[in-house]
């Protein structure tokens, strides 16, 4: 009896064949599992799809009273023709959205700067000054009647001219020196000076000059003149 000797090539072919059979079996198993999953999904979705179809049918039945198939076709055609306009509109909307984003960022920075400026103004007292100014304005407005305002308007030019004369550097300097002297006069003249002391002060040229100015002012106050006519003050002759 002759023994059959298997060559190495036959064994390799048998191994490859076995591997291919195993791969085919694995593919068949995966396909079977996939079909089972699809079957389960179809079984699950069947009631949902049936309900959706029934709902769509009812809605279409209700809609068919007002909308026909021709209306739907006409709407579809109009929508197709309007696609370029809709695309342009969407582009404009995108541009507006980008612009709004830029404006928002800029307004945020502007609001921050404005808040800083308002805080600085509050710290410096601008708002307090404004509140007090409004309170003073309210007091002035409530203190004047209509006749007072009418008289103020009639004499506004004269008032402004008087204020202009009062704000001259010479007049303001004189008023300031007079105010400073009046503040310190109480300490200097706690006791009333004697007549002889007053006469001694008349030897001072500044005292005589001040007395001459005072007499000029008194002459101006006591002089009778026409309303609005200038009355130049005559100088007092020096002796």
Q: Round to whole Å and give the CA distance between 207 and 181.
A: 13
pLDDT reported for residue 128: 85
DSSP 125: T
Q: Round to whole Å and give the CA distance between 214 and 200.
A: 19
pLDDT reported for residue 230: 53
pLDDT reported for residue 91: 84
Residue 186 binned pLDDT confidence (cut-offs 50, 70, 90): low
Q: Round to whole Å and give the CA distance between 90 and 86.
A: 6
- Rounded to the nearest 10°, the torsion over CA 17, 21, 22, 28 is 160
Residue 231 binned pLDDT confidence (cut-offs 50, 70, 90): low
201, 207 contact by CB (below 8 A): yes
> Which are the contacts of 211, defined by CB distance < 8 A and separation ≥ 6?
202
Whether pLDDT at 239 is above 60: no
| The pair of three-digit structure tokens given for residue 145, joined into one six-digit string | 């009647």
| The pair of three-digit structure tokens given for residue 149, joined into one six-digit string | 């305002």
pLDDT reported for residue 224: 61
pLDDT reported for residue 69: 72
> Cα angle at 102 between 99 and 106, to 5 degrees?
135
Mean pLDDT of 131-151: 83
Q: Round to whole Å and give the CA distance between 51 and 126.
A: 72
Whether pLDDT at 236 is above 50: no
Burial classification of residue 163, based on how many CB atoms lie within 10 Å of its CB (0-12 exposed, 13-18 middle, 19 or more buried): exposed
Q: Round to whole Å and give the CA distance between 222 and 231.
A: 11
H helices of the chain, in order, are 8-63, 69-81, 83-124, 126-143, 146-154, 156-166, 169-188, 195-201, 205-222
Q: What is the pLDDT of residues 189-222, one digit of tens each?
A: 667 777 787 778 778 888 888 888 788 878 887 7
Whether pLDDT at 2 is above 50: no
228, 158 contact by CB (below 8 A): yes
Whether pLDDT at 226 is above 60: no
Q: Round to whole Å and give the CA distance between 64 and 156.
A: 84
Q: What is the pLDDT of residues 63-97, one digit of tens each?
A: 666 767 777 788 888 888 888 888 888 888 888 88
Average the pLDDT over each of 46-50, 79-83, 103-107, 138-142 and give the range with the smallest value.
103-107
| Higher pLDDT, residue 10 or 20 | 20
Q: What is the pLDDT of residues 13-54, one digit of tens each?
A: 888 888 888 888 888 888 888 888 888 887 777 777 777 777
Residue 227 binned pLDDT confidence (cut-offs 50, 70, 90): very low
- Positive/negative CA dihedral, 197, 200, 202, 205: negative
pLDDT reported for residue 169: 84
> What percent of the chain stands above pLDDT 70?
82
């Amino acid at each position: 009896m002759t023994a059959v000797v298997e060559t190495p090539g036959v064994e390799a072919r048998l191994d490859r064949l076995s591997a291919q059979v195993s791969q085919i079996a694995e593919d068949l198993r995966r396909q079977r599992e996939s079909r089972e999953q699809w079957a389960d999904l179809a079984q699950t979705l069947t009631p949902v799809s049936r309900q959706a179809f029934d709902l769509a049918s009812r809605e279409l039945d209700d809609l068919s009273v007002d909308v026909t198939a021709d209306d739907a076709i006409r709407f579809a055609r109009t929508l197709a023709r309007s696609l370029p306009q809709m695309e342009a509109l969407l582009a404009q909307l995108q541009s507006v959205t980008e612009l709004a984003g830029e404006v928002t960022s800029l307004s945020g920075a502007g609001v921050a700067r404005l808040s800083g400026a308002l805080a600085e103004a509050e710290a410096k007292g601008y708002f307090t000054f404004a509140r007090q100014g409004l309170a003073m304005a309210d007091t002035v407005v409530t203190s004047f009647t209509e006749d007072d305002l009418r008289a103020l308007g009639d004499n506004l030019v004269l008032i402004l001219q008087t204020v202009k004369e009062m704000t001259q550097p010479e007049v303001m300097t004189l008023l300031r020196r007079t105010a400073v002297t009046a503040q310190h006069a109480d300490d200097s003249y706690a006791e009333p000076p004697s007549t002889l002391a007053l006469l001694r002060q008349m030897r001072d040229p500044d005292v005589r000059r001040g007395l001459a100015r005072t007499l000029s002012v008194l002459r101006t106050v006591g002089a009778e003149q026409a309303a609005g006519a200038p009355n130049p003050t005559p100088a007092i002759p020096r002796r």
